[in-house]
Amino acid sequence: MKTDIEIAQSVALKPITEIVEQVGITFDDIELYGKYKAKLSFDKITAIQENPVGKLILVTAINPTPAGEGKSTMSIGLADALNKIGKKTMIALREPSLGPVMGIKGGAAGGGYAQVLPMEDINLHFTGDMHAITTANNALSALLDNHIQQGNELGIDQRRIIWKRVVDLNDRALRQVIIGLGSPVNGVPREDGFDITVASEIMAILCLATDLKDLKARLANIVVAYTYARKPVYVRDLKVEGALTLILKDAIKPNLVQTIYGTPALVHGGPFANIAHGCNSVLATSTALRLADYVVTEAGFGADLGAEKFLNIKTPNLPTTPDAVVIVATLRALKMHGGVAKTDLNQENVEAVRKGFANLERHVNNIRKFGVPAVVAINEFVADTEAEIVALKELCAQIDVAVELASVWANGADGGIDLAETVVNAVENGGADYKRLYSDEDSLEAKITKIVTEIYGGQSVQFGPKAKTQLKQFAEFGWDKLPVCMAKTQYSFSDNQFLLGAPEGFDITIREFVPKTGAGFIVALTGDVMTMPGLPKQPAALNMDVAEDGTAVGLF
Amino acid sequence: MKTDIEIAQSVALKPITEIVEQVGITFDDIELYGKYKAKLSFDKITAIQENPVGKLILVTAINPTPAGEGKSTMSIGLADALNKIGKKTMIALREPSLGPVMGIKGGAAGGGYAQVLPMEDINLHFTGDMHAITTANNALSALLDNHIQQGNELGIDQRRIIWKRVVDLNDRALRQVIIGLGSPVNGVPREDGFDITVASEIMAILCLATDLKDLKARLANIVVAYTYARKPVYVRDLKVEGALTLILKDAIKPNLVQTIYGTPALVHGGPFANIAHGCNSVLATSTALRLADYVVTEAGFGADLGAEKFLNIKTPNLPTTPDAVVIVATLRALKMHGGVAKTDLNQENVEAVRKGFANLERHVNNIRKFGVPAVVAINEFVADTEAEIVALKELCAQIDVAVELASVWANGADGGIDLAETVVNAVENGGADYKRLYSDEDSLEAKITKIVTEIYGGQSVQFGPKAKTQLKQFAEFGWDKLPVCMAKTQYSFSDNQFLLGAPEGFDITIREFVPKTGAGFIVALTGDVMTMPGLPKQPAALNMDVAEDGTAVGLF
């Protein structure tokens, strides 16, 4: 069996100029990055503002398990299949972070015959967006520390700096550091830490900004620290939003690439799905909607985090609302939600499928609460049995949700035709009538309570002592009308990663809030959230190499 | 008077595809980065290996003073003028670091009517080379700390790790840090520090590597730490040279841009000129030599550092040796070397010019020791007087060195015609017969002694206690046959920055050595060397912005 990189390298790529002609983009509209990658110019983005807006399909998933669901792969395969059945389709996806690529993942641009290409470039530096975000984030840190060093006119309390530095690597040793040591000319000693770049608020901002002006306004609104008088210090107080915008002026332009089947793909931005909203950029999705009739996009983690945030945080920034939501599941993962151990997943277990279905069912119902029709997509595996499939279809019929098997990993576009037709039917006849779960005017407590009770299926919300204090402060600072961004384990509806299936009766405790006033949301932490991964004992990097002709080796 | 960025933005750039046609490069030979930047493919680099090799002109300078010499500006103007008088010329330059751009400089791509364009891009992310180097450098750090965290099989002594992390920013607070704090899962606590990216050994390696294979071999040879048994630990022991090469596979390809006059320019790599060799990449210079009849390139700092390293370290890696060396000076700077204070430079002072000439004279004699003809280029300023110019010309005649005034900043190519003609004469009739100052077989002490006595004009070399111990160790490790890379103040021939002119009778003390076995040289430290600059009270970043149409503001 071929690996992902072998499949990717066996494809004869078309020049990106040729790919984008399908959607009315010419050579003058783009900035090439090599022959197979490009950024779309602002002139073109402006020129298409009055174009009709296409249909929007969000791909999400059940709560993930180590068995894997294949959400990106399914998104790409669905878009390829939609094109194959005659719908002019584009795809909008997140771009991968180098850290996990060098660590465990090896690569993250779909898989099998459902990949975006050139996968080597997308997984490495791509068009430099991550590097620009890293640079902007760390320039802000350097300018902040320099402000303190040069007299601290704003009265910044160096014990209350919340802005951290970042690197786009898995580097646990940088999680908690002390900087400014050695001499008075080396700055003011203080505690600091590094997150991975995709956890930077600047990534979230880049993914929500609608243009350069909005980008600058959001950057200006980042809170970086508090003064000795406990007042927030914003980027605008440091007067560096112009420089940060300059550093990001190209990174904000959406990137154009292609799938194995030549579907034009916008791969742009990739914020975390816990401490941020987990979706590709608003600019990429909006642009795709103005260029194509159908747009497939995805949201990170399971639907309780990814789709909830897509629908409550990202959607209000888009020119349209979703016409259908595809929920990806596998029989293997449903069996795990039904209590089967990972080692036993290759054995038929219809009862476990029935039991695990509760997880899928809750996600379907949740999507319906937003007024959008759901379609279930089963990502086929060799070990799936006929009896399991029959049982699942029966269960889906009982709750009146369409379900299709898809084999896009193995068969590419052909493996997604049935799914594509079902999705088109949902889009055209599903009667989508989007409503947001909460309004900005709801208090932070009310927003969180709605998410916990209506989406997670929990009983109630508790606020820890720190969170309670912050609720008062945030109201005082005028931050309480912002949307909420929940930081919770992706593995369970609850805040306990081991509670699989569809747990009930649980409480969620909000330990602390983190203001992301630039991005425009308040993060609610339900526990410890990892914002800097570590490397495993045998990092993927150990297998990487480059052939003498420049071909990448060891990405997969 | 127009600023540099105003001049740059007033030029109608030609597509880079059109620019490179002049030197036989087609669309298929390059990878575009937007319309005005490109990287040259390895296929093309391989295809031109048998091309005839052009004439090589190195531009260097007297010891710099705050009055400024304008070396990059002169290099660009000379290349434009050579093209204007009918010589097919390319230029090979270093690429700027973002740190100083955000700090004091605002920009570094020539000035006035002698600039490489697009200056905004070159000064910001360009084609991502700096980011790739930052990433490779820090990936190595993360993999090293991970090795220790995962059991430390190699027995690395965490008190003797010499590999530091980097950022491409001026960030003094990161000079000295403690990492790995907080918990056993956050790694092993230890001291670390961040250099600016251009100080990374990986930058020096990228600039000396002749192809991907050589790049990988040099990366494998980096020493990162010592074991508890005091044995060196190399990158090859960590088995990550493949991954590092993969991260750098595009960064190693030379970047193509244009000057204001449409001269094709290779702007690629930019190592420090104290702890590294201070020249653009070997690949850029070699490529230019195989595409053009004349190649103008430059070396960092004054000729005692930059030209010495170009001639002793870089030249042996090139397909030819220099045919002429241009030494840039200004009357203002000569007056400072002659004892005039910065505030009095606008007053005529012929005596000070005569006195300061000693600095220039020693540089001319030094270049002649390498068997290469020297030409003096005086970068014209408004305050220069006729009497000063006459005096300088007289002094140059006495030592039989050609001298020309040039006004390329104000007048572009037209301002450099006389200089170009004189340089052509030196190239064609100067009888260049390059010889290296030392041989690899000389001991480190002998190499340093030759540099200090024959180039600096010093009396002798002292080795401090640490340096003495290292000399023994390095011989044991087999590092003593490498070239020497002197780390010394750029302002004086001596190691005392206040000794201007042509000091004599001084000693140089080598405090410590730093092995750069990947780059292939041993750095000799004569004092404290700043490898991480700080930001000033009013950083250039405060004036930066981007207009709504995407135009850069505040670079200069």
Instruction: List pLDDT tens digits, range A436-485.
Output: 999 999 999 999 999 999 999 999 999 999 999 999 999 999 999 999 99
Instruction: Provide the sign of the torsion angle of the four alpha carbons B69, B200, A38, B101, taken in this order.
Output: negative
B272 is catalytic: no
Nearest to B31 among A35, A546, A548 (CB): A35
- Pick out the residues of the known binding site of A: 65-72
Mutate to test the interface with B, among A161, A546, A551, A556 (most CBs of B within 10 A): A546
* Helices assigned H by DSSP within B399-553: 408-411, 417-429, 444-450, 465-477
Element (H, E) at A424: helix A417-429
Domain span at B160: 129-247
In a domain, B539, yes or no: no
Secondary structure of residue A114 in the 3-state scheme: strand
In a domain, B550, yes or no: no
- pTM for the model stands at 0.96
Same domain assignment for residues A197 and A286:
no
pLDDT at residue B259, as a whole number: 97
Please give the average per-residue pLDDT across B36-62, as a whole number: 97
Catalytic choice (B370, B381, B463, B521): B381
Residue of B nearest to A40 (CA): B34
In a domain, B353, yes or no: yes
In a domain, A45, yes or no: yes
Residues in chain B closer than 8 A to A177 (CB atoms): 177-181
Answer yes or no: do A172 and B181 touch at CB < 8 A: no
Q: Is B46 annotated as a binding residue?
A: no
Measured between alpha carbons, how far is A506 from A458 in angstroms, rounded to an integer?
5
Secondary structure of residue B446 in the 3-state scheme: helix
Answer yes or no: do B545 and A132 touch at CB < 8 A: no
pLDDT at residue B419, as a whole number: 98
Catalytic choice (B37, B38, B39, B73): B73
Final residue of a structural domain among B218, B247, B276: B247
For A189-237, write each residue's pLDDT tens digit.
999 999 999 999 999 999 999 999 999 999 999 999 999 999 999 999 9
Answer yes or no: do B173 and A182 touch at CB < 8 A: no
Answer yes or no: do A149 and B35 touch at CB < 8 A: no
- Pick out the residues of the known binding site of A for ATP: 65-72
pLDDT at residue A103, as a whole number: 86
Q: Is B66 annotated as a binding residue?
A: yes
More confident residue, A548 or A36: A36
Q: Is B533 annotated as a binding residue?
A: no
Counting Cα atoms < 13 Å in the Cβ hemisphere of A142 gives: 34
Mean pLDDT check: name the lowest of A16-30, A184-198, A211-225, A540-554: A540-554
Residues in chain A closer than 8 A to B247 (CB atoms): 124-125
In a domain, A283, yes or no: yes
Angstrom CA distances, B11 to A207, A261, B116, B262, stand at 34, 41, 11, 10
Same domain assignment for residues B239 and B264:
no
Same domain assignment for residues A122 and A137:
no
From the CA of A550, how many Å to the nearest CA of chain B? Answer: 7
Element (H, E) at B441: none
Mean pLDDT check: name the lowest of A101-110, A171-180, A410-419: A101-110
Length of chain B: 556
Secondary structure of residue B54 in the 3-state scheme: coil
With cut-offs at 50, 70 and 90, classify the pLDDT of residue B376. Answer: very high
In a domain, B190, yes or no: yes
Same domain assignment for residues A399 and A294:
yes
DSSP E strands, B172-323: 177-179, 190-192, 194-196, 223-227, 232-234, 255-259, 264-267, 294-298
Same domain assignment for residues A239 and A255:
no
Among residues B76, B519, B58, which one has the least CA distance to residue B321? B58
Same domain assignment for residues A292 and A383:
yes
* Helices assigned H by DSSP within A167-310: 201-208, 212-220, 235-238, 241-247, 282-291, 306-309
Helix axes B129-149, A129-149, angle to 10 degrees: 80
> Is pLDDT at B481 greater than 80 in this prediction?
yes
What is the count of structural domains for chain A? Answer: 3
Residues in chain A closer than 8 A to B240 (CB atoms): 541-542
For B212-265, write each residue's pLDDT tens digit.
999 999 999 999 999 999 999 999 999 999 999 999 999 999 999 999 999 999
State chain B's mean pLDDT as an integer: 95
Mean pLDDT check: name the lowest of A71-75, A259-263, A546-550, B398-402: A546-550
With cut-offs at 50, 70 and 90, classify the pLDDT of residue A5. Answer: confident
Answer yes or no: do B212 and A550 touch at CB < 8 A: yes
With cut-offs at 50, 70 and 90, classify the pLDDT of residue B68. Answer: low
The DSSP bridge pattern shows strands B89-93 and B294-298 to be: parallel
Same domain assignment for residues B265 and B373:
yes
Final residue of a structural domain among B221, B247, B273: B247
From the CA of A299, how many Å to the nearest CA of chain B? Answer: 27
Please give the average per-residue pLDDT across B18-29, as a whole number: 96
Same domain assignment for residues A231 and A260:
no
Q: In CATH, what number is assigned to the domain containing residue B515? A: 3.10.410.10
Q: Which residues pair with A402 in a beta bridge?
A: A375
Answer yes or no: do A182 and B174 touch at CB < 8 A: no
Q: State the count of interchain CB pairs (< 8 A) between A and B.
A: 233
Answer yes or no: do B212 and A546 touch at CB < 8 A: yes
Please give the average per-residue pLDDT across A9-23, as a whole number: 94
Please give the average per-residue pLDDT across A505-511, as a whole number: 96
Q: In CATH, what number is assigned to the domain containing residue A317? A: 3.40.50.300
Same domain assignment for residues B511 and B387:
no
Q: Which residues of A30-54 are buried (b: 16+ CB within 10 A; e: fewer)?
A: bbbbbbbbbbbbbebbeebeeeeeb
Measured between alpha carbons, how far is A166 from A168 in angstroms, rounded to an integer?
7
Same domain assignment for residues A62 and A136:
no
Same domain assignment for residues A255 and A115:
yes
Mutate to test the interface with B, among A37, A172, A185, A216 (most CBs of B within 10 A): A172
State chain A's mean pLDDT as an integer: 95
In a domain, A371, yes or no: yes
In a domain, A507, yes or no: yes
The DSSP bridge pattern shows strands B264-267 and B89-93 to be: parallel
With cut-offs at 50, 70 and 90, classify the pLDDT of residue B133. Answer: very high
Length of chain A: 556
With cut-offs at 50, 70 and 90, classify the pLDDT of residue A66. Answer: confident
> Is pLDDT at B287 greater than 70 in this prediction?
yes
Same domain assignment for residues A338 and A319:
yes
Measured between alpha carbons, how far is B4 from B183 in angstroms, rounded to an integer?
51
For A106-164, write each residue's pLDDT tens digit.
567 888 999 999 999 999 999 999 999 999 999 999 999 999 999 999 999 999 999 99
pLDDT at residue B247, as a whole number: 97
The Cβ of residue A197 has, within 10 Å, a number of other Cβ atoms equal to 26
Answer yes or no: do A535 and B143 touch at CB < 8 A: yes
> Is pLDDT at B106 greater than 60 in this prediction?
no
Final residue of a structural domain among A194, A213, A247: A247
Q: In CATH, what number is assigned to the domain containing residue B210? A: 3.30.1510.10
